[in-house]
Structure 1
Amino acid sequence: MKRVMTSMAALAIGAGAAHAGGVERSTQSVGILFEQGNYAEFSVGGFNPDVSGTYPLNNSNSGDMAPGYGTVSLGYKQQLNDQWDLAVIFDQPVGAKVNYPAGATGNPLADYPIAGSKASIKSSAVTALVRYKMPNNVSVYGGLRSESVQGHVTLPALGYSMSTSDETDFGYVVGAAWEKPEIAARVALTYNSKIEHEFSVTENGSPSAPFSTTVPESVNLEFQTGIAKDTLVMGSVRWVHWKQFDITPLGYQMATSGDSLVDYANNTITYNIGLGRRFTDQWSGAIMFGYEKHQGGTVGNLGPTDGYKSVSFAASYQATDNIKITGGLRYVDIGDAKTTLPPGVQTDFSGNDGWGAGLRVGVSF
């Protein structure tokens, strides 16, 4: 039960990737450290958002500017002895895929002002963790994360384009957990450090000044406990310091009198809570609810969302003694947002949502 729920809760929360902060793709869970014995897993996910807004001056619609995307993650956990565990995790912590459809009328005065704009952020990370089990069901863990990030943007309305180098830099992870196995209880608190990247940049086809971006620090609180026979309550609280995340190339800053391509005025706290239930020796299920507060104010045109509510369903099938297959489906009600376009006009992004799905295969040995 405990082993099944660890995987199922993580997939239910992350099915189709998170939408926190607009660019988050991984919840950076350390749940794999608590799998029993030796364990490996492979996960794939996809998310298909539908995000569009209107520009009041000409009543034009942006069209769906948020294409669907996929994610992949891998994990391996080795029990070294009764006290020490080792885990290696590959994931994609941040990402973005923006594509405003090209103007439909051919008349710039009638089309959405930034029609044809495109942007992307790609990342990958490898995290190595060790866990030490102390007396009284307490354990401590930590490790290093290697993270690679690159980005591209094209803004036809400004006659602007930018491409960065692919940069790899390092951060760290530290945490502690308490467990009570007889009731399947566990509380784990994890700190993920910020990682600073300095990019070489090409703007409008020519080399430009390097700039730095910080993938922000975060704190995860993950918990579960049995509340009845074969039934668990489980969830997480995740804080991310999104004010640290800023993309401001020099050429763009000069062309826009000091604006940033991407920045965030607020940090985020994301909540997830749900129930898991084992129905038979082979089948278990879970339902999870997610919430991230609507902050208000205006947001950037490359990330026109503000908070969300979600519901996720997951099912796990113990195919053999050592193989389990977990699937998840997630619906996200994407929070309404307002952006600003010239000449200082507010656009309205509302009524947006998205569907996500994920599949994980875990092998114990």
Structure 2
Amino acid sequence: MTLSLQKYLIGESNSCFNFKIIIEVYMKRTLINIAILSTILGTGIAQAGGIDRSGQGTSIILKEGNLLEITSVSVSPKVTGKYTYGFSGGVITDVTPDYSFTNLAFRTDISDDMALAIIQDEPYGANVSWTDGTATDYTADPVVALSYNGVKAEIKSNATTVLVSYDSADNFTVYGGLKNQSVSATSTNPLAGMYSIVAKEDSSIGYVLGAAIEKPEIAMRVALTYHSKVSHDLTVMESSVIGANQPSTLSFDTPEAYNLDFQTGIAANTLLFGSIRHVNWKQFLLKPDHYFATTKYLDAATNGAPGTGKALKKYDNNTTTYSLGLGRKFNDQWSAAVTYGTEAAEGTLGGPLGPTDGFSKTGVGVTYTGEKATVTLGVQKVNNGDVGLDPIPGTMSGNTTLVTAVKIGYKF
């Protein structure tokens, strides 16, 4: 009996942000193909789930044979709200643009008990753009600040992970490898002294370690994967009211994360599966030198010396995301699955770079399996968590994200 699990995360928020899961289980010599689309919210630059997008899935290494998988994901977030005191007419239109990305994964056997996998994904990403109303420098004169208009931020990333696995004779597999990750970012914030930053792309190395145990007679597998933090030093150019085109280096870590994936057969042609992802977002701190100096200067001008500087983005809490699904095979070609997931809200005030807080999600997917190729279609609705805004008071509420995905797998 052979088991294999494939999981992909998509997303943005905060946010935010996206899982695609393909599970193939040989039970009683019949193949169960179970497709499910699952998403970790990613609809802005900062959410309860940080800037997670792909979910850093690695389970292709636990499959068999020569495989190539391509996953295309489209994300349509809707994040709107209202200013508390009627600024700009009160209404906040959608601040999170649509986005899409494609993940690639390849696997091949090296020997009878060793395999190689190469995975290319977008582990982190964010995009927010506020366009309503009229904005001025809130920190300099909060009385005339009318909206967050002009606040924009975008984070892009790419990662190539190379893994090698070793299968022991007792249904125990260990795997690990290196990850080359690149990150770039841009942001403008007229509310903080007309601040802007452009951060050039930087590439750094991290590592991945994992282990899986299987019990084939009940189609059971539990796999735990650790992703190390990756340290980056980006060359940046910053500008604000206290100086233009100020060069510096922005140093930060993308956080370490733990993925626990599990599955088990509960009846003939029926599979229960799920995942738990924990990310140490407290390790992620963006504090550019010129932004810190600008906010310190503005605070001193408003409240008196010496003033207090701020970070561009930080997280006060780590996050844990849960997902549970049920899959069913109908015949040799068709199978389907449903899933539910959740991530608790932090319960703190958000802002223009964090317009949601936590989420719940429901999804459905269907897979068609041919002799060589497998095609999966999935859709998921994410209910974005409500959040209050600061420093300009408002509320973002009743928002959703629609995620669609197509995955093509080919055996050769």
Question: Match of 1:237?
Answer: 276
Q: Offset of 1:84 from its aligned partner?
A: 0.1
Classify the secondary structure of the residue corresponding to 1:166: strand
Q: Distance in 2 between matches of 1:116 and 1:333?
A: 26
From 322, 325, 349, give the equivalent of 1:274: 325
- Which residue does the alignment assign to 1:179? 214
After TM superposition, list the pairs within 5 Å mapping 1:1-365 onto structure 2.
6=6, 9-10=21-22, 12-14=36-38, 21-59=49-87, 60-103=90-133, 112-157=146-191, 158-204=193-239, 205-257=244-296, 258-318=309-369, 320-341=370-391, 345-365=392-412
- Structure 1, residues 11-53: CA drift from partner, whole Å, max 9, x if none? 7354587566241111111121122211110111011111123
CA deviations 1:263-322 (Å, max 9, x no partner) are 11110000000101111100010101010011201234212211100001111001x211
Inter-CA distance 5–326: structure 2 relative to 1 (3 Å threshold): farther
Cα distance in 2 for residues equivalent to 1:243 and 1:202? 25
Residues 105 and 168 of structure 1: CA distance in aligned 2, closer, same or farther (over 3 Å): closer
Query: 1:62: how far off?
Result: 2.6
Instruction: Tell me the CA shift for residue 63 of structure 1.
Output: 1.5
Amino acid at match of 1:41: E
8 Å CA contact 2:79–2:400 kept in 1: the answer is yes
SS in structure 2 at match of 1:165: strand
**Cα distance in 2 between the residues matched to 1:190 and 1:232:** 21
Question: Hey, what's the Cα distance between the residues in 2 that align with 1:353 and 1:284?
Answer: 27
Code of the aligned partner of 1:164: A
**1:346, CA displacement in angstroms?**
3.4
- Partners of 1:6 and 1:152 in 2: CA distance: 33
The residue type equivalent to 1:120 in the other structure is E
Cα distance in 2 between the residues matched to 1:328 and 1:13: 5
Q: State how many pairs are aligned.
A: 360
Aligned Cα root-mean-square deviation (Å) = 2.3
**Does the CA contact (< 8 Å) of 1:285 and 1:313 recur in 2?**
yes
Offset at 1:156? 2.7
**Distance of aligned partners of 1:110 and 1:70 in 2 relative to their CA distance in 1, 3 Å threshold:** farther
- Letter in structure 1 aligned against 2:329: R
State the SS of the aligned residue for 1:182.
Answer: helix
| 3-state secondary structure, aligned to 1:243 | helix
- Give 1:105 shift: 11
Shift of residue 339, structure 1, vs aligned partner: 2.5
Q: 31-40 or 52-61, which moves further after superposition?
A: 52-61
CA distance in 1 between partners of 2:220 and 2:21 (Å): 14
Partner in structure 1 of residue 304 of structure 2: none
Q: Deviations over 1:107-128 (max 9, x none)?
A: x989852112111000000000
Q: Is the 8 A contact 2:93 2:132 kept in 1?
A: no
Distance 1:322 1:234 in 2: 25
Q: Secondary structure at the match of 1:21?
A: coil
Secondary structure of the structure 2 residue equivalent to 1:82: coil
Cα gap change, 1:177/1:112 in structure 2, threshold over 3 Å: closer, same or farther? farther
